[in-house]
Structure 1
């Protein structure tokens, strides 16, 4: 207990807690003042403590949707920290341009992919602003990888990263449970409280990220972090705290009812077990899942039913089951919706576009990506895509691969395949190590996620993925490293 107390009161932990507190206090300021104050504070801090800024960034990006909804003045903190990190690296390298411009094959493929999508989009009438927006979405979290992978990291960096994830897990879990039990009436912005939700989504926790799938992906990483720490502290340090955290995080993961994440998590676990043969992990996960159902899932659903019994008005469907959630996949009504204007519809339209533009697609900003959300698309009318039937007139392709196929054609598919395969080749070489085995599992899980989400555009996921990947790169000395 004493060592636990010392860990929780360490300088690094207290600094992150202080930064999070400053962030929430900034919500009380007028938007323009909040913009100035947070810009000064986080620019200075990022320059002085760049590595701790990355740890803070993990929390900020995860809860950014809520922060920006409450105060738009806080929306540039992430970009500002990332920019300062690159400046700090440039200075630390003493402007070693040759060293800084050394890239692996997966990076070169990524750069060419961005170039193809940008050029073709411009030639097909997409505005420069939309193209820049899309490129930024793809590249912003890679820049964190670029910084970390070329930096001398402290020996306990993975430990710091994992504890940060656990802290984030508690923050989003407790908030998510309050949201669930209060039937979305407490601790949410007013717009979120009254946001129209489909019948399938009423039962789901949206949380601080404002999206159940994003929350689920965060919880998946927090579970991985707990398992890493349990393995690290084999002398039973923090045993009870980590066990409680594991049960809580799995319970909240279940309550997101995120089918895609649960499937991806299963692929991650199976892949890791195949390579590591760490069969003790099966017991840990089985007990964790059973305890999560008994101590979190069922009590929380019972609490929601009790709150409704007390007279709180709520639509039917606020209490659901995991079995029903997966059963909806084959429900005739849900299948019809997917075919008429959902995931199946997007796939059909994507291949229709590909047939017309097989070589290089229609370019960034044309089909189901981040740029089309903000700027629209010059080709939607040509393909009978009516945005008026969608919530806020916006659609994602909900499938990273069909977006790449439609927007970048055969050339883009080849480049993105090289990006992914060159990346996994690096992990495969280290498949005899625990870290390499974990990265193989994470790569597989990411690939599965791409079939359900625009995963490489999802900032919270790519930030965590690239941060872990950077630690792997530093451990195996992919690049020249500098002391920041």
Structure 2
């Protein structure tokens, strides 16, 4: 632990654990009381320990779905921390407008995209509440970038982030094993335990994030954290623990059967290895992958069969299946027919129908397959035969960031959004000679592919990592005038 102790004091560890303990205790308090006391606690925590509170968001956001299922009073904790740290940044800046109001071109294009989509939505009868909800979805994690990019980061900041990510990944991995072996009978809220899942989904681990894709994305960053710490500790510190972690995370990652995240992770790894020419990393990942199949994947599936032989049964069909079968389902005729009737292909067709009617401007935020439409519905759905009864009484996610952008903001929005993405890539490319720069280029391509099958820029389980890492990259490369902003 000597390397960690150089930069992480006992006081730091105690305060971080105290925040975690407070969160656990709050889960069992009345909801109305929880909102009040968590607001007071996390405002104080964020002001006194702003960087620790930002790290605390990693486990909080990762397991937020199960926290809210247990106690809805915890829903504001993340926003409270974010806005409290933002407020401290403003105070610490002493209204240094040069730092606060300096933005890169990709940010200006992002703001223009948000403004444009909002105005068009309001003009097409979307409620103000729905537009604000959509803006919050896009901006809340960007605020983490804004804060970090303008500060002097604590010593060994990325190391701390990696450790928090690794430990969070261990938490969800152990819970995932219990969920899988118990056939969703143990350590889950009753609503989740008896949730009706399709035959293709019941074989997957949903975990504390409550979604197999979100779980897989978290574990992807957990794997990155392991590899980063292994690179950092060249003296072989924690070698056994990190190797065990890598095998465990890859094993649970496979058991999520998340086809989209498998592709995203493959792109991330392939681009980084190609740019860094770190061919040894291929060998390590292959060995860890084989070990995870032998030591995690097959034993867990055998364990499920063993528990079934003891009489343990799930309310649904037993969780069995294989990764090969999961990919075969992608091109199965029945599955393709389902996607055409009410799935991803259906969303694409409807998205282009909307685009054909609003080619230049789109129909505006809060109209098609985004976070706002899940909560507020859409004023245009009836016009396109999009019924909530198709999805069990719920509205749908487009499951494709690009079709949402195309439908909601048209040609103008697509150009603004493309400028936002390309603007980032150009900044990363300038730092391609550094390892961090190579990683950011790889992460950019991985994120780009993710947008084809996730609303990735709305998915907090992903954007919390993306914007924290992006903010760290910007701070280390001194993109902005610095604000002296330290933990007490």
Scaled by the length of structure 2, the TM-score of the pair is 0.97
Instruction: State the SS of the aligned residue for 1:397.
Output: coil
Give the 5 Å matches for 1:264-413.
264-314=264-314, 315-413=316-414
Q: Hey, what's the Cα distance between the residues in 2 that align with 1:107 and 1:377?
A: 28
- Matched with 2:181 is 181
Partner Cα separation in structure 1 for residue 88 and residue 2 of structure 2: 37
Instruction: Give the number of aligned pairs.
Output: 484
Indicate how the Cα distance of structure 1 residues 2 and 88 shifts in structure 2: closer, same or farther if over 3 A, else same.
closer
Are residues 31 and 369 of structure 1, via their aligned partners in 2, closer, same or farther at CA, if it must alter by over 3 Å?
same
Aligned to 1:226: 226
Kindly tell me: are residues 2 and 275 of structure 1, through their superposed partners in 2, closer, same or farther at Cα, counting changes over 3 Å?
closer
What are the equivalent positions in structure 2 for 1:65-464 lying under 5 Å apart?
65-314=65-314, 315-464=316-465
TM-superposed CA distance for 1:154, in Å, is 1.5
In the TM superposition, what is the alpha-carbon distance from 1:155 to its structure 2 partner?
2.7
- The 3-state SS of whatever aligns with 1:431 is coil
Secondary structure at the aligned position of 1:186 is classed as coil
Preserved CA contact (<8 Å) 1:199 1:317: no
Tell me how large the CA RMSD over aligned residues is: 1.5
| Matched-pair contact (CA < 8 Å) for 2:98–2:481 | no
Please list the CA deviations of residues 242-295 of structure 1 after superposition, one character each: whole Å capped at 9, or x if unmatched. Answer: 111111111111111000000010011110011100111011101111111111
Q: Mean alpha-carbon deviation: is it higher for 252-261 or for 305-314?
A: 305-314
Q: CA deviation at 1:99?
A: 2.1
Query: In structure 2, what is the equivalent of residue 477 of structure 1?
Result: 478
CA-to-aligned-CA distance 1:29-55 (integer Å, 9 cap, x gap): 000111111111111010010000000
Q: Residues 45-56 of structure 1 correspond to what in structure 2 (within 5 A)? A: 45-56=45-56
SS in 2 for 1:207: coil
Aligned-partner Cα distance in 2 for 1:299–1:323 = 17
The answer to whether the 8 A contact 2:250-2:289 is kept is yes
Q: Output the TM-score relative to the length of structure 1.
A: 0.98
- Give per-residue Cα distances to partners, 1:396-415, cap 9 Å, x unaligned: 00000000000000000000
Conserved? CA contact 1:350–1:406, under 8 Å: yes
How far apart, in 2, do the equivalents of 1:403 and 1:323 lie?
A: 30
CA contact (8 A) 2:226 2:246 kept: yes
- Post-superposition shift, 1:12? 2.9
Instruction: Call closer, same or farther: CA 1:477–1:454 in 2, change over 3 Å.
Output: same
Query: Matched residue of 1:171: which SS?
Result: helix
Quote the Cα distance in structure 1 between the aligned partners of 2:96 and 2:329: 55
SS in 2 for 1:393: coil
* Residue 445 of structure 1, CA deviation: 0.5
1:401 touches 1:451 (CA, 8 Å); kept in 2? yes
CA drift at 1:319? 1.1
Q: Deviations over 1:409-429 (max 9, x none)?
A: 000000000000000111111
Counterpart contact for 1:215–1:256, Cα < 8 Å? yes
Q: Name the SS of the counterpart of 2:269 in structure 1.
A: helix
Unaligned 5+ runs, structure 2: none
Cα distance in 2 for residues equivalent to 1:414 and 1:359? 11
Deviation at 1:305, TM superposition (A): 1.0
Superposed displacement of residue 10, structure 1: 4.2
Residue 170 of structure 1 deviates from its aligned partner by: 0.7
Residue range with higher mean Cα deviation, 446-455 or 14-23 = 14-23
Relative distance call for 1:7 and 1:182 in structure 2 (3 A) is farther
CA distances 1:95-137 after superposition (whole Å, capped 9, x unpaired): 1123200000000000000001000000000000000000000
In structure 2, what is the Cα distance between the partners aligned to 1:37 and 1:150? 30
Contact 2:255-2:297 at 8 Å conserved across structures: yes
